[in-house]
Structure formats: structure tokens, C-alpha cells
């Protein structure tokens, strides 16, 4: 597909600065831009590349001031990052998408499949499965019995959906994710072994949820593990049984949430955050990377560290931690001086 600068500007509500007829057929990072590609610039760290790039069109913030002449045609918009994201979505749609049912695949006779659905080869749809319109089910996806998937949801290759799962509209589940596996429930016995506790609940993903590759979300022991609408979860995240995650919360890779914990709305979790079970995280809570959370946190807090603590206190603790080698040497030196003073006093 070919796009002109003026057409892009009209779509974004921006203004063209340069050749309105400049055309692009692909996208690129600004430092790797080539003729015929579209790039964007919003991070000041990359400003220098604006004067070096060979990209034909660059999207920039409306208030950006130029320091030298630019070869590329510019499109000025209020927010270059958001504008470029909108264009990438349009670009992806323009490439087209698959429809139809490939063979070999298995769809149980009791399953219901909507309109314009794609089912890839070796996919399995179990009994009483309900698939909405425009759903994309890529090869080797397993969908267990009694699962419901609403319109416009995409399941990438190798996704495994256990029985009784409910998935909302316009969700994206990336390759290798497992939704609805048993929660980690075992009761110790008198002889030192463990007896498995049956996990009879399910998982509910509300609308516009995105789940990263190889992430696992366990079914509830009873009731439901719930991920509320608009939440985005990165790759390699573990969500345990009976966890509830509020709306529009984001979690970076390798985060782990233990069982029955409640996470509020609009939270942000950095990478490798660990959260203990049976606690509550309020709304608008930010957890720094590698935070270890063992107690409940009230809303509108930013914490980090292990154990996690308020950011102001954590900054003081980390400052002391960085100075520990120097403090150790000072303590050793003070010990030597005290020993000398003691020796003199005893003489």
C-alpha cells in the first residue's frame, strides 16, 4: 500500500511541512529510515536523527522547533507517539487478514462459530464453544469445552484455553499463553505428602485485554480469576487462582501475582514484580521493577524495593546501600582507633 503525506496528515488531523505528495510504502525507526518509509520522533534522545534520516516522511510533535534543515517531509501533530500508533494500526488493517477454516482442524458439532472467522490448521474447538464474529484463531490453538470468545478477539498460534473460560471483545492473546490451567492448590497430609485440591472455577477476561506470549492465568479454585477490561499483561507473567486485576492496569514481563490477591485499576507494575497472596493493591499504584510486595498497598502510591516501600523511603535506603562498602571501611577504622585508645588507657 502507498500513502501520501497529505493523506496521512488528513487522517491524523496534522499539518504537512514539505512535499505534500511525498509517498511511503513502509515504516521504520527514525535512525534506520530509508526512502519510501515513514518514521516518527517524540523522544528528545533521538532528535539528532531527524537531520540525518533518509525516511521520506517523519511525524513530529506540533511544537517541535527545528535547529537545522530537514530532508524529510514533516507531519506535525499534537502527539507524535500516539499518532504513529494510530498509523501502525491502519497499516496493519491495510495488509488484510485471514478468514475461513483451514484443514486439518477440529470444530465440535455443538460449537457455534460467527461470521468472518479464521480458524487455522490444527486448531481444536471443543463442545459448546461459542465464537463471535471476526475472531482470528491461529494454528494449533486449543479451546476447551464451554468457552465463550466475543467478537474481534485474536488468539495467536499455540494458545491454550481451558474449559469454561470467558473471553471478551477485541482481546489479543499471544502465542503460547495458557488461560485456565489449574491453580497451585495442594493440602499437606500427615505423612508429609500433598493432596491436590480440585480447581473448579474459571477465568474471565473482559473486553480489550491483551495477554503476552507464554503468560499463564490460572483458573479459580471456586468462582473466577478475573482480568478487567483494558488491562495489558506482558510476556511471561503468572496470574494465580482467584486473582482479580482491575481495569486498565499494565504489567511488565516476569511479574507474578499469588493467589486471591486483588489488584486495582490503572496500576503499573514493572518487570519481575512479585506480589504475595491474599492482599489488596489499590487503584493507581505504581510498583517499580523487582519490587517484592508482601502487604496490602493503598491507592495512589508508588513503591519499590524488596520488601517494597514508599519511593521516598526507598531512595534513602538505596543511597545507604550504595555506600555500604565505604561505611564498612569506616566502621573497621573506628574499631581500630577504639582499640588503640583502649590500649593507651590500660597502660
> What confidence tens digit (pLDDT) does each residue in 277-289 have?
999 999 999 999 9
Average pLDDT over residues 40-64: 92
- Give me the chain's average pLDDT, please: 94
Please count the CA atoms within 13 angstroms of the CA of 155 that sit on its side-chain side: 32
174 and 207 in a single domain? The answer is yes
320 and 245 in a single domain? The answer is no
In the block, cell 468472518 appears at 116
305 and 185 in a single domain? The answer is yes
pLDDT number for residue 311: 86
pLDDT number for residue 251: 98
247 and 280 in a single domain? The answer is yes
Domain containing 328 equals 316-346
Which residues are annotated as catalytic? 241
pLDDT of 96 strictly over 70: no
| Dihedral sign of CA atoms 194, 198, 201, 202 in order | positive
246 and 122 in a single domain? The answer is yes
49 and 144 in a single domain? The answer is no
CATH number assigned to the domain comprising residue 238: 2.160.10.10
Q: How many domains is the chain partitioned into structurally?
A: 3
> What confidence tens digit (pLDDT) does each residue in 287-342 have?
999 999 999 999 999 999 989 989 888 888 888 888 888 989 999 989 899 988 88
For every residue of 109-161, DSSP letters joined together read: TT-EE-TT-EE-TT-EE-TT-EE-TT-EE-TT-EE-TT-EE-TT-EE-TT-EE
265 and 176 in a single domain? The answer is yes
pLDDT number for residue 151: 97
> What confidence tens digit (pLDDT) does each residue in 129-187 have?
999 999 999 999 999 999 999 999 999 999 999 999 999 999 999 999 999 999 999 99
pLDDT of 2 strictly over 90: no
Grid coordinates representing 82 are: 500516539
178 and 253 in a single domain? The answer is yes
The candidate with the shortest Cα–Cα distance to 145, out of 133, 170, 162, 167, is: 162
The candidate with the shortest Cα–Cα distance to 183, out of 263, 245, 261, 242, is: 242
Total-model pTM: 0.83
**Three-state secondary structure readout of 277-315:** CCCEECCCCEECCCCEECCCECCCCEEECCCCEEHHHHH
pLDDT number for residue 323: 86
pLDDT number for residue 94: 64
d(CA 50, CA 59): 10
Q: What DSSP character marks residue 35?
A: T
d(CA 227, CA 239): 10
336 and 295 in a single domain? The answer is no
307 and 324 in a single domain? The answer is no
CATH number assigned to the domain comprising residue 45: 3.40.1390.10
Average pLDDT over residues 28-33: 92
211 and 175 in a single domain? The answer is yes
Amino acid at each position: 500500500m502507498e500513502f501520501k503525506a497529505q493523506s496521512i496528515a488528513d487522517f491524523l488531523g496534522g499539518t504537512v511541512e514539505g512535499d505534500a505528495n511525498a509517498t511511503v510504502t513502509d515504516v521504520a525507526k527514525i535512525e534506520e529510515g530509508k526512502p519510501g518509509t515513514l518514521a516518527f520522533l517524540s523522544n528528545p534522545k533521538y532528535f539528532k536523527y531527524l537531520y540525518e534520516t533518509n525516511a521520506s516522511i517523519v511525524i513530529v510533535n506540533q511544537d517541535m522547533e527545528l535547529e537545522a534543515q530537514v530532508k524529510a517531509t514533516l507531519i506535525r501533530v499534537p502527539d507524535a507517539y500516539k499518532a504513529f500508533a494510530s498509523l501502525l494500526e491502519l497499516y496493519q488493517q491495510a495488509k488484510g487478514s485471514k478468514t475461513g477454516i483451514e484443514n486439518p482442524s477440529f470444530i465440535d458439532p455443538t460449537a457455534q462459530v460467527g461470521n468472518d472467522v479464521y480458524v487455522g490448521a490444527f486448531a481444536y474447538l471443543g463442545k459448546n464453544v461459542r465464537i463471535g464474529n471476526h475472531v482470528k484463531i491461529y494454528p494449533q490453538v486449543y479451546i476447551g469445552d464451554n468457552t465463550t470468545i466475543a467478537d474481534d478477539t485474536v488468539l495467536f498460534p499455540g494458545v491454550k484455553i481451558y474449559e469454561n473460560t470467558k473471553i471478551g471483545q477485541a482481546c489479543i492473546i499471544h502465542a503460547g499463553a495458557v488461560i485456565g490451567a489449574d491453580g497451585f492448590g495442594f493440602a499437606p497430609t500427615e505423612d508429609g505428602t500433598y493432596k491436590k485440591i480440585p480447581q473448579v472455577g474459571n477465568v474471565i477476561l473482559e473486553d480489550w485485554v491483551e495477554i503476552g506470549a507464554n503468560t499463564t492465568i490460572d483458573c479459580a479454585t471456586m468462582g473466577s480469576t478475573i482480568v478487567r477490561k483494558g488491562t495489558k499483561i506482558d510476556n511471561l507473567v503468572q496470574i494465580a487462582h482467584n486473582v482479580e486485576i482491575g481495569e486498565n492496569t499494565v504489567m511488565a514481563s516476569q511479574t507474578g501475582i499469588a493467589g486471591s490477591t486483588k489488584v486495582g485499576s490503572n496500576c503499573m507494575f514493572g518487570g519481575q514484580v512479585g506480589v504475595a497472596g491474599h492482599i489488596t493493591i489499590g487503584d493507581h499504584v505504581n510498583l517499580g521493577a523487582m519490587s517484592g510486595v508482601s502487604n496490602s498497598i493503598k491507592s495512589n502510591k508508588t513503591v519499590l524495593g524488596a520488601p517494597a516501600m514508599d519511593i521516598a523511603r526507598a531512595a534513602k535506603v538505596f543511597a545507604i546501600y550504595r555506600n555500604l562498602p565505604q561505611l564498612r571501611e569506616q566502621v573497621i577504622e573506628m574499631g581500630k582507633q577504639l582499640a588503640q585508645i583502649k590500649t593507651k588507657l590500660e597502660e
